[in-house]
Amino acid sequence: MAVAFKAPVKDIVFGYEVIDSYNILSKISAFSDFSEDIVIPTMEECAKFAEEVLAPINSIGDQNGATIKDGVVTMPEGFVEAYKSFAESGWASISLPSEIGGGGMPITLSGGTLEILSTANLAFGLAPGLSAGAISAINFHGNDEQKEKFLPKLVSGEWTGTMNLSEPQSGSDLGTITTKAEAQEDGTYKITGTKVWITFGEHDMTENIIHLVLAKVPGSPEGTKGISMFIVPKMHINDDGSLGENNNVSCISIEEKLGIHASPTCVMEYDGSTGYLVGEENRGLNYMFTMMNEARVWVGGQGLACANGALIGAAQYARDRVQGRPVGMSKEEAKKSTIIDHADVRRMLMTIKAYVDAMRYLMFDNQLMMDLEYFAEDEETKAFGEERCGILTPITKAWVSDLGVELSSVAIQVYGGMGYVEETGVAQYLRDSRIAPIYEGTNGIQALDLMFRKLPLDNGQAMQRLLGDVNKVIEEMKNEDEVVASMAGNLQTEVEKLSEVTMWLGSRMLEGELVDASAAATPYLKMFGQVLGGYYMGRAAIIANKKYKETNDEFYADKLTLCSFYIEQLLPLASGYASAITAGKDDLFAMKAENF
């Protein structure tokens, strides 16, 4: 049987200390009172909701999935009631600005709540996650009338939001979209076209769904420069706020998928549907990136959620399962042992747990930078937040989501044969996690973004500033006692290697060898993620060491052990990517396509 979900509240709370969130956010007037006094009860209440309401219907959603009949999508048993409870409890709006009716908490806080909710039930968590992005896009780029019309019920959770980008012929290459937007005399547009892979494009949890749709106005420039963004509600909204007739928006079908079965992935058809232009024509892709960048960070969070959920089950199974005699243990001792006493099982569990910590700290810090970019009151801090968020986002999205798949697979291995049996529930995490490296821009695209957009920022100085911050932490570690200082050498070695290949890549691009750089993009991102994991674990080690001395709490001793394990045994994997980065394109293109 599947193991009951128990949210890792204490780990999450510690994560906020690692990234220094309380000190940094206190400098923003809207978040001046952000502290553990807010975080701890919030996470405890969120955990209670997730454990009691969402986790029990997770396997139901996986087994039964969302269904469609005559264009009507029906959610699995328990999901409609769970969503109503979710919205009524305020979880839909906790990290949205207070001026639009939200809870006024920083985006950083949503890292912990979304982790808890999505570990309990990833398919469910996709709906409010997308709504949050839609809200941001309308709030930042919509006009006052649009905000008044659409935001209140999106913020309250009475309606949900989506983003409609891809089309049958146009996946990541959005310049080829054909959805048409024709201007009307009343200032609205008629939207006509088909969109695919629309998460929660149709469902029965809310009475209205607000779609953000990318389309082209006739006569607009070719490619991505001619894309505009439109708000297209499923149901017309009357002047008094009541709902009118369907807005010629229909769901043609839902996809049969490897995982996230309770999340309907829809093919949407717009047939002269009324749409409202957001901002200016031909700037839709710019506006959509407000939504997409938030979504990309959270896609990394989905990898974290799956890895953590799989870990919870694997650890409990390892504590319970009696199998074999561990090496070095007597027959008498072995009678009382379980598989968690085997060194290889320990290695697998330690690997997952250490990575999960590093992944969490990276995601929280990425969201912290987003808060600075959006809400800081001085331009210097805003600029720093935008710069650092820009660098971290592709790494959070790709490195963390890739690890979500890999670590969920490792968790199955802990179970042995039982991990391959659906009864245990762990296989669902692997299947659910597999979408994360694909959507919101495949991980290969994230690697190209890091290589060609982020590495050259400010002539490479933005990247050097980040590496400079890593080096500052190394110096701090050297000044701590031997427990922490002993970890500094490995981190320094890997940072130096990363700096070396970064300079090499920069020189190749200056020389015009762009294919060499594109061939190196994915191993470079993986190397960068591995090193950043060491950076955050170094920061965690400094804090955990001090806390352990103050409290003698075993929790902090364990955190130190995890930091040491990561830096000594996982971080050195970073150097292994260096030769792939500097190998260039030759091997990749030496074979004819038909010979693969």
Q: What are phi and psi for residue 163, nearest 5 degrees?
A: -125, 135
Do residues 110 and 128 make contact, with C-beta atoms less than 8 angstroms apart?
A: no
- Number of other residues whose CB lies within 10 A of the CB of residue 305: 28
Q: How far apart are the first and last CA of the chain?
A: 42
Residue 198's beta-bridge partner residues? 266
Q: Which residues contact 111 (CB under 8 A, 6 or more apart)?
A: 15, 301, 360, 363, 364, 367
**Measured between alpha carbons, how far is 523 from 530 in angstroms, rounded to an integer?**
10
- Going by DSSP bridges, is the β-strand pair 160-164/180-183 parallel, antiparallel, or unpaired? unpaired
**Measured between alpha carbons, how far is 372 from 587 in angstroms, rounded to an integer?**
43
Q: Check 167, 373, 387, 440 and give the catalytic one.
A: 440
Q: At what angle do helices 122-141 and 79-88 cross, to 10 degrees?
A: 50
Do residues 535 and 470 make contact, with C-beta atoms less than 8 angstroms apart?
A: yes
Do residues 348 and 338 make contact, with C-beta atoms less than 8 angstroms apart?
A: no
Q: What are phi and psi for residue 269, nearest 5 degrees?
A: -120, 130
Alpha-carbon separation of residue 28 from 20, 32, 312, 382 (angstroms): 14, 6, 36, 11
- Going by DSSP bridges, is the β-strand pair 160-164/209-216 parallel, antiparallel, or unpaired? parallel
Q: At what angle do helices 284-320 and 401-415 cross, to 10 degrees?
A: 20
Q: Where do runs of H (alpha helix) occur along 208-342?
A: 284-320, 331-334
Do residues 360 and 118 make contact, with C-beta atoms less than 8 angstroms apart?
A: no
What DSSP letter does each residue of 323-353 carry, written as one string? -S--TT--HHHHTT--GGGSHHHHHHHHHHH
Could you write out the three-class secondary structure of 172-207? Answer: CCHHHCCCEEEECCCCCEEEEEEEEEEECCCCCCCC
Q: Where do runs of H (alpha helix) occur along 97-203?
A: 107-120, 122-141, 144-156
Task: Please say if 44 is a catalytic residue.
Answer: no
**Measured between alpha carbons, how far is 54 from 66 in angstroms, rounded to an integer?**
16
- DSSP, collapsed to helix, strand or coil, labels residue 228 as strand
Q: Which helix (H) or strand (E) holds 229?
A: strand 227-233
Give catalytic residue positions. Answer: 440
